[in-house]
A and B are shown apart, each in its own frame.
Chain A
Amino acid sequence: MLAEQIVNGLVLGSMYALIALGYTLVFGVLDKLNFAHGDIFMFGGFVGVSVLALGAPLWAGAVAAFVACGVLGLLVELVSFRKFRSHDAQVTAALSSLACSIILIDATQKVWGTEPVALTLATAIRTASITVEGLRVAWVNIGILALTLLLMAALYVLIVRTRMGRNIRAVADSAVAAELLGIDVTRVTQQTFFLASGLAGLAGVMLAVRTGFVTTELGLTFGIKALAVMAIGGMGDLRGAVVGGLLAGLVEAMATQLGLGKFGDMAVWLLMILVLLVRPAGLFGGLRKETRA
């Protein structure tokens, strides 16, 4: 029972981590919050479910969600961030992206309705499981864990080894310096948004496959928690997002185990508040410019 909850926590946490990576990538590059990110994740679930409803295979649904959400991310960048570059515009950009998320939620409801939409996927796939040493683990959970690990590894390689990753790191370090070095900051920002939003889209599909349905509330109930996760791990820090995500997933699973489901939600937010007050840079981040005296 406990082991089962740990697996649950890890699966949940890996999805949090995937979304939090997007928040943190954008924050790292722009020093700004993309409040639309949680609902881009939600939208990814709807895209995935719709593509699967056409009879397409699972991978096609995932790819479609990745691309659709990536494009959506580019759109959000264009209307809510392009014009608000300065540090003073932090709050304006955050609010503008919030407005985007309001539009996105309502538009999704206009297309798919306000009721949860069920996933059409053979029940056999969703419930198939193996039993290892008495512990029953659903293949879906194994798949989600494996895929997120793969994605994180790929992201790591991308950021550390490729030219695009180098540029992203350069802009994150100092946009001004990067510009002087001839890096096209706007382009790097777009790449970051595409990547961050695409990953959120994939997380949306994963959650849909795991729970069997999607609703337009997911951005506010699930996606935004990744925001807290990002802050816990350290804003702008990739390791922090992953560790913070897994931690939050485990905490929630444990709360459920102990029959304190309601407080699992709250625990994540309380932890975030504490971290921001005591150690604004998060568990991992070094001190950023803003938090210094």
Chain B
Amino acid sequence: MIADHIMFTGVNVLLAWSVYVILLSGSVSFANGAFMAIGGYGAGVLTTKFGLPLVAGIPIAALGTAAFGMIIGLPALRTRGIYLILVTTGIAFCVKNAIEAIPYVGGVRGMRGLVGAEPWHVWVVAGVVGLLLWLLSRTPLQRILDAVREDELVARSLGINTVYVKVIAFGTGAALAAVAGGLYAHYMYVINPEHFGILVSVYVVLYVILGGVNNLWGPPLGAAVMTLLPELIRGLQAWRPIVFGVVIVILLLVRPEGLLPFRSPTARAKEARRG
């Protein structure tokens, strides 16, 4: 049981970061559950049908998912706001329906025999991702992403190829979600399309908004709190969705910027004078 909590919290932290990476460039993705599914199923096929080890299967699946994400992202990212929410929601539904229709991966009954992932694997990956995001937050790239998110038109006028930036961010987020999916699948032993329904995508976006999108610590905090909170309070498990929903509604009303709303500037004036 404890192992489950550690595992699922780690997976959700990774997923939250996968949404965060896309949000960095200003796009909201409701398709990360689908990317997770592609990663999970892709890695599953590679390990069970081709006998690849997990350490090879997951990166390959992640690269494939990134490519898929970028190919659909190229047209999809021309839309914004509500339109993009709808498009990514549509993608999530299509991917799930498509998987259900593929007998090779077990259709609605799912796929079995996926083993090899341990909770600590997820946390090692999460640690690495966190470190990379922290390094990113101190580079000019972070500023460029912020600019694209704040005002695309101005960003373009400064010479930033916003489409390119957004597509790469989308692909990176897709790859991260795929890694989370691959690890999740190989911990679960059995996966089926229901594990990656639209609600998974929705929940993850909610974790991120709840934690705050202005810094890299908000999303994992939101994910950890919302995964563990109902488990920590005895008797609350049965009420999990309601607690979850009520907490979201209230937090959005009182803290629309999330639990950790601050944003650290990527540079300060005094840095130029130091040393």
Contact = CB atoms under 8 A, between A and B. Distances in A.
A106 B241 CA distance: 6
Contacts of B101: 262-263
Interface stretch (A167-175, A190-198, A266-274): A266-274
Interface in B243-264: 244-246, 248-249, 252-253, 256
B113 to A, nearest CB: 25
A99 B249 contact: yes
A79 interface: yes
Given A99-B245, A103-B241, A220-B199, A273 B90 contact: yes
Contact of B245 (A84, A100, A265): A100
Nearest to B238: A110
A262 B87 contact: no
Interface residues of A, number: 44
A100 B205 CA distance: 15
A103 B245 contact: yes
A180 B78 CA distance: 34
Most chain B CB within 10 A, of A96, A224, A235, A270, is at A96
Nearest to A93: B252
A23 B15 CA distance: 29
B87 A265 contact: no
Contacts of B94: 266, 269-270, 273
A273 B248 CA distance: 28
Contacts of B97: 262-263, 265-266, 269
Contacts of B82: 27, 31-33, 90-91, 94, 235
A193 B159 CA distance: 44
Contact of B241 (A31, A105, A265): A105
Contacts of A263: 97, 101
Interface in B99-128: 100-101
A280 interface: yes
B75 interface: yes
Contact of B79 (A33, A91, A220, A277): A277
A42 to B, nearest CB: 14
Contact of B248 (A31, A95, A106): A95
Most chain A CB within 10 A, of B80, B86, B242, is at B86
Contact of B75 (A220, A265, A277): A277
B90 A228 contact: yes
Interface residues of B, number: 40
A270 B244 contact: no
Contact of A95 (B87, B98, B205): B205
Contacts of B85: 33, 91, 94
B86 A99 contact: no
Nearest to A107: B242
B256 A89 contact: yes
Contacts of B81: 90-91, 290
B102 to A, nearest CB: 11
B198 interface: yes
A135 interface: no
A80 B246 CA distance: 11
Given A262-B100, A270-B94, A276-B86, A99 B199 contact: no
B93 A100 contact: no
Nearest to A280: B83
B179 interface: no
B206 interface: yes
B90 A277 contact: no
A231 B75 contact: no
Interface string A81-119: 001100001111011101111110111001000000000
Interface in A230-247: 231, 235
Contacts of A276: 79, 83, 86-87, 90
Given A266-B97, A277-B75, A290-B81, A92 B86 contact: no
B91 interface: yes
Interface string B221-244: 000000000000000000111101
A99 B98 contact: no
A32 B85 CA distance: 11
Interface string A152-181: 000000000000000000000000000000
B78 A277 contact: yes
B209 interface: yes
Interface string B63-95: 000000000000110111111011101110110
Leading 6 A-B pairs by shortest Cβ distance = A103-B245, A99-B248, A106-B241, A102-B245, A269-B90, A266-B97
Interface of B: 28, 75-76, 78-83, 85-87, 89-91, 93-94, 97-98, 100-101, 197-199, 202, 205-206, 209, 239-242, 244-246, 248-249, 252-253, 256
Interface of A: 27, 31-33, 79-80, 83-84, 89-92, 94-96, 98-103, 105-107, 110, 220, 224, 227-228, 231, 235, 262-263, 265-266, 269-270, 272-273, 276-277, 280, 290-291
Given A95-B252, A99-B245, A106-B239, 18 more contacts: A31-B82, A33-B82, A89-B256, A103-B246, A220-B198, A224-B198, A228-B86, A228-B90, A262-B97, A262-B101, A263-B97, A265-B93, A266-B93, A269-B97, A270-B90, A272-B86, A277-B87, A280-B79
